[in-house]
Amino acid sequence: MALSACSKSPSPASSPIGPAPTLNPAPGQNVVTKSLVAKPTTLDLGGVMVDTWAYGDAAPGPLLRATAGDMLRITLDNQLPEDTTIHWHGIRLRNVADGVPGQTQDPVRPGAAYTYEFTAPDPGTYFFHPHVGVQLDRGLYAPLIIDDPSEPGRYDAEWVVVLDDWIDGTGTTPDEVFTDLTGGQGAGMHHGNMGGMDHGSGGMAMSGKLPFGDAGDVVYPHYLINGRTPADPDVLRAKPGQRVRIRMINAGADTIFAVALGGHRMTVTATDGWAVEPVTTDALYIGMGERYDVEVTLGDGVFPLVAAPFGKAGRARALIRTGPGQAPAVDASLAELDGRVLFGTELRPTESSRLDPKDPDDHQMLHLAGQMQPYVWTINGKPFGKNSPLSLTRGTRTRLQMMNMTMMTHPMHLHGHTFALPNGLREDTVLIPPMRTIDVDFDADNPGDWMAHCHNIYHAEAGMMIALNYAT
Ligand SMILES: [Cu+2]
């Protein structure tokens, strides 16, 4: 049986929400219109054929691109055998378009269509995916880029690089993985490395440090960049000396990656769409649901762009080619992964990315707990559906104190808002390391029924979600 987030919602499916009110564009507002078909398909991941679900016939799905201030009008045609929705991850949109079944909309039934209408106010790198069950761990994800109309064209080229951990269609499905984690008899499932001691080629991890505690809960047979295995990788082409922006998105369900580009250092310029004071690094960590923009001036040759899964064996790889030459071996070591691996929380915001300085008026707590056996992950002592929604007040600066009482890292994601870390860094997803507490502040200026949850999709499905509600 496929569990869905909807099935655990406090709003029973028997009380329908109905269609979202129509959004009319403001005078002069540009409207980006697109249709997406969610459907079963067969994909070639690069020598590996899998039956999966995707938006169209590719994973990642089609790039969706607009300019800040545009209205998006996106129709989802559900040709899946299950209910689905789309969540526009990181966008500060109107609540009715947020894609949470039972909370902001009714689930989109098989054979039905649903139109999302919202304005995308902030430029940056985003993505979209279902907010139902563990569908994100299939091929149902795609990049969403919101361009900044005032940005100078500083780049010769721009690439979107989407990371993923892949298991669907390899003798099991994400639903079977979840069933197995929760004690059922799913097929083909292997439990993760509980001790987190097998550290693959994860940079700092190689030096024996365990910055994120236990690795994820699922062992994946494949790690992908732009839907390709390392053996038959995506090849990104440019000329030597060109300045390239790479927009990185971690669409994985259970995997933190360390990313490095062989022979280069990378300058990080934004996270979750918000500009940061540039930092040049050998490599950087990217958690599930996080995005980083980096810029690189390319050398001459063929270079591996590698994403090493934290605490797990294997790697994802693409190639950057600016000239002739032999590609390096799939498993060639990268010195950069053993160099400085940046943690996102070390970054500092630009002045333009800061929240106005203000003390919080409202304090709320997210107490994160859980364990593998039984497989239950909770916020404030209970799994989603049993925990009490947080009650916010419109117009207040709200502080969320996120306390991780587990030995795993949780990428905590807030819908409909971006928060500021204590150093001012703006994000919508932040990695909370084991036994650590991070306070984040945000303005409750976008009323509705929202979600905060772990972006490990198996944790979220096992209960690590909570609603935050406030009215106009
Ligand atoms: Cu988690």
Q: Is the domain of 103 the same as that of 168?
A: no
C-alpha of residue 411 to centroid of ligand 1, in Å: 6
C-alpha of residue 456 to centroid of ligand 1, in Å: 5
C-alpha of residue 262 to centroid of ligand 1, in Å: 30
C-alpha of residue 466 to centroid of ligand 1, in Å: 13
C-alpha of residue 83 to centroid of ligand 1, in Å: 24
Over the chain (472 residues), the average pLDDT of each successive run of 10 is 42 71 96 98 97 98 98 98 98 98 97 98 98 98 96 89 98 97 56 35 41 90 98 98 98 98 98 98 98 98 97 97 95 94 96 94 97 94 97 97 96 98 97 97 98 98 97 86
Q: Is the domain of 178 the same as that of 319?
A: yes
Q: Is the domain of 283 the same as that of 313?
A: yes
Beta-carbon contacts of 381 under 8 Å, excluding residues fewer than 6 positions away, are 367, 369, 387
C-alpha of residue 410 to centroid of ligand 1, in Å: 4
Beta-carbon contacts of 342 under 8 Å, excluding residues fewer than 6 positions away, are 268, 279, 281, 283, 284, 285
Write the single-letter amino acid at 73: R
C-alpha of residue 112 to centroid of ligand 1, in Å: 32
C-alpha of residue 454 to centroid of ligand 1, in Å: 5
Q: CB-based burial of residue 422 (10 Å sphere; 0-12 exposed, 13-18 middle, 19+ buried)? A: exposed
Give dist(CA 229, CA 389) in Å, integer.
41
SS3 38: strand
C-alpha of residue 232 to centroid of ligand 1, in Å: 31
SS3 43: strand
Would you state the pLDDT for residue 97? 98
Q: Is the domain of 145 the same as that of 167?
A: no
What is the total count of domains within the chain?
Answer: 3
Sheet holding 31-44, edge to edge: 49-55, 31-44, 71-78, 113-119
C-alpha of residue 45 to centroid of ligand 1, in Å: 27
Query: Phi first, then psi: what are they for 104, rounded to 5°?
Result: -115, -10
Beta carbons of 281 and 334 less than 8 angstroms apart:
no
Beta-carbon contacts of 443 under 8 Å, excluding residues fewer than 6 positions away, are 355, 395, 396, 397, 398, 417
C-alpha of residue 414 to centroid of ligand 1, in Å: 13
C-alpha of residue 438 to centroid of ligand 1, in Å: 15
C-alpha of residue 249 to centroid of ligand 1, in Å: 18
SS3 70: coil
C-alpha of residue 397 to centroid of ligand 1, in Å: 26
Q: Is the domain of 174 the same as that of 313?
A: yes
C-alpha of residue 288 to centroid of ligand 1, in Å: 10
Would you state the pLDDT for residue 340? 92
Give dist(CA 314, CA 71) in Å, integer.
40
Question: Which of 134, 150, 166 finishes a domain?
Answer: 150
CATH number for the domain that contains residue 411: 2.60.40.420
Q: Is the domain of 190 the same as that of 253?
A: yes
Q: How many CB atoms lie within 10 A of CB 198?
A: 14
SS3 203: helix
Q: Is the domain of 283 the same as that of 406?
A: no
Q: Is the domain of 300 the same as that of 262?
A: yes
- Of 423, 413, 467, the closest CA to residue 89 belongs to 413
Give dist(CA 462, CA 3) in Å, integer.
10
C-alpha of residue 134 to centroid of ligand 1, in Å: 13
C-alpha of residue 464 to centroid of ligand 1, in Å: 7
C-alpha of residue 384 to centroid of ligand 1, in Å: 13
Give dist(CA 184, CA 186) in Å, integer.
6
Beta carbons of 459 and 465 less than 8 angstroms apart:
no
Q: Is the domain of 346 the same as that of 378?
A: no
C-alpha of residue 299 to centroid of ligand 1, in Å: 38
C-alpha of residue 322 to centroid of ligand 1, in Å: 39
C-alpha of residue 381 to centroid of ligand 1, in Å: 14
Q: Is the domain of 373 the same as that of 346?
A: no
Beta carbons of 342 and 279 less than 8 angstroms apart:
yes
Give DSSP secondary structure letters for 324-369: S-PPPPTT---GGGGS-EE-GGG--B-GGGPPPP---SEEEEEEEE
C-alpha of residue 77 to centroid of ligand 1, in Å: 30
* Helix-then-strand count for the chain, H and E: 2, 31
Give the CA dihedral 433, 439, 443, 449, nearest 10 degrees: 60
Q: Is the domain of 391 the same as that of 346?
A: no
Which domain range does residue 127 map to? Answer: 5-150
244: β partners: 157, 296
- Strands (E) across 372-433 are located at 376-379, 390-391, 397-404, 410-414, 419-420, 426-427, 429-432
C-alpha of residue 335 to centroid of ligand 1, in Å: 30
Dihedral sign (CA 145, 147, 151, 154):
positive
Give dist(CA 143, CA 159) in Å, integer.
11
Question: Which of 299, 323, 350 finishes a domain?
Answer: 350
Question: Which of 132, 150, 168 finishes a domain?
Answer: 150
Give dist(CA 196, CA 343) in Å, integer.
19
Identify the H or E element spanning 440.
strand 437-443
Give dist(CA 325, CA 238) in Å, integer.
14
C-alpha of residue 390 to centroid of ligand 1, in Å: 19
Beta-carbon contacts of 370 under 8 Å, excluding residues fewer than 6 positions away, are 376, 377, 378, 406, 459, 462, 463, 464
Q: Is the domain of 370 the same as that of 246?
A: no
Would you state the pLDDT for residue 195? 34
Task: Please state whether beta strands 157-166 and 243-250 pair in parallel, antiparallel, or not at all (unpaired).
Answer: parallel
Give dist(CA 272, CA 417) in Å, integer.
11
